Structure 1
Amino acid sequence: MTSLDLHGLGVRVHVTVSGSRVDELTDALRTAWSRCLVPRGSEIDAPPLTVSLEADEDLAPRLQRLTQDVTQTAIQAQRGRLFMFHAGAVTDPRTGAALAYVAPGGTGKTTLSGVLGRTHGYVTDETVGFNLDGRIMPYEKPLSIRPPDFTGVKIETSPDELGLARVHPDARLRRFVLIRRDESLTTPTVEPLGVLDAIVQLTSESSSLSSLGTPLHSLAAFLDARPPTLLVTYAEAESARDVLIEALEET
């Protein structure tokens, strides 16, 4: 039996690792969670988790399940403390300004994170958490990637293994983009949204928004002070890259 601490979303999660293949599992966790092994300061403790791997069990499902458990544990720990949305995000390497691209699970956030993260700092591919002034609590979790022979189990892959850029040390949310997929498009479409329309669409992809004080009023004020939220519809992540980088960096 051994243990390790995982840090992300402003939370520390203590994980106990056990089973007959404890060394193999621990090594795999350290590799996949390579960017979440060092504390960032001002963290809160979440309830501890346990994970085990026995001789007759597959490694990949255990890693995928732990990623889900860590994410849910961290979200619950920050309930009522942070704005949290189902989103990937990257930071401008010069300024720390961040773009959060919001969408339901399975609609391209991880793929976009892999594409945008080649040049812009990887924040997360799953949950963006930030406070009222926009300061982001990075969650540099392993990216959950579908293999070519996908049968329901994703491969938890370290951002280091994928060569993704490091998150800026002062990441602050500058803009939201709602992303949608349409394989019939040859070029992405971009539609600016008003604050009310943006709130309606963002709230459906939020985590525990109602636990915050005056959440809709606070979110409206947050959006009103920033560039308009965009609805970007695209076919493939590569085709959307330039549009999204421009949305982040435009003055």
Structure 2
Amino acid sequence: MSTAFDVRVLDSVVRVDFDASVPDDVRDRIRGHWVDLVEDGAEPTVTLTANLGNGRLSTDPQHRIVSATSPEQLAARVVSEATLVGIAGLSGSALMLHAGAVALDDGRVIALVGPSGRGKTTASIALGRRFGYVTDETLAVYPGGEVVPYRKPLSVGTDPDSKTQLPASAEGLRGLPDAPLVLDAIVVLDRREGVAEPYVETVPVLEALEALVPQTSFLSTMRKPMRTLVSTILSTGGVRRVVYSESETLGDLVDEILAAATDESPHLVDVGVSTSDCDCGAKLGEEPVVVEAAPGTLYRRGEYRDALSVDDALVVFRQNRVTVLDGLGPVLWFAAADTTASQITDAALREMPAPPPDVDPAAIVDATLDELVTADVLVRA
């Protein structure tokens, strides 16, 4: 008799099977972890075959081998591999955050963002006993705000490869409401020792980007990754940071979390990968200050996936990292298109306020160019 079972992982169906190395009691235990997500009658996207100790590998993307040396490690790896299948299935169509999440009765979802070890699962458990449990570490959001639930086994422990897996229903977490799930708040968890009174604060959008981008998966596969992320942030009233010590105090902060909202409404302009050199908004009616271009090292923009102007700042996204340029930075970035330092200085003098008489603009530009090269935003040719 087959011991395989199928589970719903985001918008994918994953079949979990076992080879003869896995005892019956371990198979039953792992199946029990997934009791909330068992899917009957759907064709699986990928089959995972779990084994203990033989280390077999598979090159078939539709049939993957999951190997471990202990039952606990095997259970954790099945969860990790199944989650990767689900995330890959939404690549390019949904924003995916490393976040726990809970849902209010009306379908509003609160995302709890943070890196591994920051307390997402503990927070999800504490809040999931009062609100609907959505997920404890992988949240998928479509551009319009619709949330794809993933009531995965709760992963408890500090070692990512051997966490204890607990089914949400067995831990007393609430089910999902009947209402459609829509993202309403993004919370960055900041757990600290000795916080007597937990509190909520709003996070400026540019600072929020630097906090959120590392906590995403497949962000670069989105058609407009930076606009998608910024628009999601703004549609939820901006990112909130919750500073706390004990997860049990989070439930009392929900009203404050929902009420906290930024009044930011920045002007967004997609720059994208096809931006050509521009005059960077040269001041109309002003005579440009011309600095004679001299032969020398050429500067150009480094490889990047996306760029977005946010008011006077420029957000450059590459290799799942974001760099925020302000002040002189955006002018130099736009001007760097196989151009010399003196040509870039010319652009800076046209676009920036006139420097004080005792300031050498070329020296300031050279120093800033060095910083941008060090940050891999610009390269020397």
**TM-score, length of structure 2 as denominator length:** 0.59
Contact 1:145/1:157 (<8 A) preserved: yes
In 1, the alpha carbon distance for the partners of 2:161 and 2:15 equals: 27
Contact 1:90/1:117 (<8 A) preserved: yes
Contact 1:98/1:248 (<8 A) preserved: no
Point out the structure with max Rg over C-alpha.
2
Q: Which moved more, 1:101-110 or 1:6-15?
A: 6-15
What's the counterpart of residue 364 of structure 2?
none
- 5+ residue gaps in structure 2? 54-68, 262-381
- Are residues 1:112 and 2:123 paired? yes
How far did 1:161 drift? 0.9
- Are residues 1:162 and 2:171 paired? yes
Note the alpha carbon deviations across 1:185-220, whole angstroms, 9 max, x for none.
111132112322222211121111111011111222
Note the alpha carbon deviations across 1:89-129, whole angstroms, 9 max, x for none.
00002x01000010001110000111000011101101100
Instruction: Give the alignment's Cα RMSD to 1 decimal.
Output: 2.6
What's the counterpart of residue 273 of structure 2?
none
What's the counterpart of residue 17 of structure 1?
18
What's the counterpart of residue 37 of structure 1?
38
Indicate which of 225, 246, 250 corresponds to 2:235: 225
How far did 1:20 drift? 4.5
Contact 1:22/1:53 (<8 A) preserved: no
Three-state SS of the structure 1 residue aligned to 2:217 is: coil
Three-state SS of the structure 1 residue aligned to 2:170 is: coil
In 2, the alpha carbon distance for the partners of 1:246 and 1:141 equals: 28
What's the counterpart of residue 355 of structure 2?
none
Contact 1:88/1:125 (<8 A) preserved: yes
Q: Mapping of 1:11-160 within 5 angstroms?
A: 11-38=12-39, 46-53=45-52, 58-93=70-105, 95-146=106-157, 153-160=162-169
Three-state SS of the structure 2 residue aligned to 1:112 is: helix
Three-state SS of the structure 2 residue aligned to 1:2 is: coil
What's the counterpart of residue 198 of structure 1?
208
How far did 1:86 drift? 0.4
In 1, the alpha carbon distance for the partners of 2:259 and 2:128 equals: 15
Contact 2:124/2:136 (<8 A) preserved: yes
**More relative contact order, 1 or 2 (CA 8 Å, 6+ apart):** 1
In 2, the alpha carbon distance for the partners of 1:231 and 1:27 equals: 40
Q: Which moved more, 1:133-142 or 1:83-92?
A: 133-142
Between Structure 1 and Structure 2, how many residues are aligned? 245
What's the counterpart of residue 347 of structure 2?
none
The one-letter code of the counterpart of 1:130 is V
What's the counterpart of residue 4 of structure 1?
5
- 5+ residue gaps in structure 1? none
How far did 1:71 drift? 1.3
Three-state SS of the structure 2 residue aligned to 1:164 is: coil
Contact 1:8/1:137 (<8 A) preserved: no
In 2, the alpha carbon distance for the partners of 1:21 and 1:206 equals: 34
Indicate which of 210, 213, 228 corresponds to 2:220: 210
Contact 1:99/1:175 (<8 A) preserved: yes
**TM-score, length of structure 1 as denominator length:** 0.88
Three-state SS of the structure 2 residue aligned to 1:16 is: strand
Change (3 A) 1:233 1:8: same
Contact 1:111/1:237 (<8 A) preserved: yes
In 2, the alpha carbon distance for the partners of 1:105 and 1:25 equals: 26
How far did 1:151 drift? 11
How far did 1:80 drift? 1.1
Contact 1:180/1:234 (<8 A) preserved: yes
